[in-house]
Amino acid sequence: MPVLPAKLPNTGTTIFTVMSALAADHGAVNLGQGFPDFGADPALLQRVTDAMAAGHNQYPPMAGVPALREAIAAKLNGVYGAAYDAGTDITVTAGGTQGLITALQACVGAGDEVIILEPAYDSYDPAIRLAGAVPVGVPMTLDYRIDWAAVRAAITPRTRALVLNTPHNPSGRVATRDDLLTLERLAEEHDLFIVSDEVYEHMVFDGQPHESVARYPRLRARSFLVSSFGKTFHVTGWKVGFVAAPPALTAAFRRLHQYTVFTVHTPTQHALAAYLADPAPWQGLSRFYQAKRDAFRAALAGTLLKLLPCEGTYFQTVDYSAVSALNELDFARWLTADVGVAAIPLSVFYQQPQERRHVRFCFAKRDETLALAASRLQAGLG
């Protein structure tokens, strides 16, 4: 047998797979992996069936069905005051993850450095390494804000790009206007590309706006904006997203996109294009998830868990230091096996694990699922 090349030799099974398997083994309520346990709008599902019946079952254009790209551009331009062109600036992707990987492949190469803000979603590090580049982790502040002094200190002549994630997974915080303006200045000063993971763009709470890179023309000019229909419309298994970027960046992106996935499931694209004609489903998403957040937080208020701020996403981070001295991974395992609720330890989202006794719950669940989880946490944690 030939020897296999050692790609990502230190990368194992993702924590989401590990904790979901553990939850299944112990009959635990799975608040670990970030997916809804409720269905999508039947009207959206019917549109997929209608698209298949109408014969939309062959290859679509490589960049995506034109009607869907036009709908995406119209939404971005309307919401953020952007100027994206459906023909030259929008590419439909096989989920947000493919969009992130391809964007990084397009803008960095061997020996380049890419700054990631930690705790960072676990696909960033391997995606950067697969591009031949070096991920440079910069920890956020103790309250999960971007530490811009630390970011500036981490920039070297080899720094080529920065990965932004807002609303932020796993912390649930959101970037502010000042954050985006600071990033704009740093990106121009050091000539950086920005890969902006905005898959939770329509889950921002308490009346705050989502500060997208699309709102800032000078930042937009050097950014790949990544988003996901799976997150927005409760269909994570469809794996359909998009990347918006200026023409030169999109051209580089598409050169790679055409030889990786080439294109994305045709009837689903037609269904999404038609469904986007009504903005109500995504316009009501923040209100929908804020109600779940508020109910879940209220149910946990009587426990020994300290609730950290949750400004966006569908994740609630808690401090369990009043409950246990276990490290985060061991606590998450104990919580799953003995209390019957699965969570994700934040320590796994760092290059060098940091133990702060924080775990993350997903509240994108039915009300009865959240009530059952809360009752177990109330009984098990006091």
Domain membership of residue 227 (yes or no) is yes
373 and 335 both lie in a single domain: yes
Please tell me the distance from the alpha carbon of residue 365 to that of residue 34, in angstroms, as a whole number: 9
Domain membership of residue 222 (yes or no) is yes
19 and 138 both lie in a single domain: no
Which of 281, 311, 345 marks a domain boundary?
281
367 and 245 both lie in a single domain: no
**pLDDT given at position 33:** 87
Domain membership of residue 335 (yes or no) is yes
Domain membership of residue 1 (yes or no) is no
> Quick one: residue 164, left, alpha or beta (phi over 0 = left, psi -120 to 50 = alpha)?
beta
CATH code at 375?
Answer: 3.90.1150.10
374 and 267 both lie in a single domain: no
320 and 259 both lie in a single domain: no
Site of tokens 């036009």: 70
142: CB partners within 8 A, 6+ apart = none
Cα Rg, the chain, nearest whole Å: 21
- pTM of model > 0.85: yes
164 and 198 both lie in a single domain: yes
pLDDT over 80 at 382, yes or no: no
Q: Are 214 and 76 in contact (CB under 8 A)?
A: yes
For the chain, the domain total comes to: 2
* HEC letters along 183-230: HHHHHHHHCCEEEEECCCCCCECCCCCCCCHHHCHHHHCCEEEEEEHH
Tens digits of per-residue pLDDT, 312-334?
999 999 999 999 999 999 999 99
Domain membership of residue 121 (yes or no) is yes
267 and 137 both lie in a single domain: yes
Please tell me the distance from the alpha carbon of residue 262 to that of residue 252, in angstroms, as a whole number: 14
Which of 281, 296, 325 marks a domain boundary?
281
Tens digits of per-residue pLDDT, 136-163?
999 999 999 999 999 999 999 999 999 9
Domain membership of residue 170 (yes or no) is yes
Two tokens, residue 182: 């600071």
- Per-residue exposure over 285-312, b if at least 16 CB sit within 10 Å of its own CB, e if not: bbeebbebbeebeebbeebebebbbbbb
Run of H or E including 344: strand 344-345
28 and 130 both lie in a single domain: no
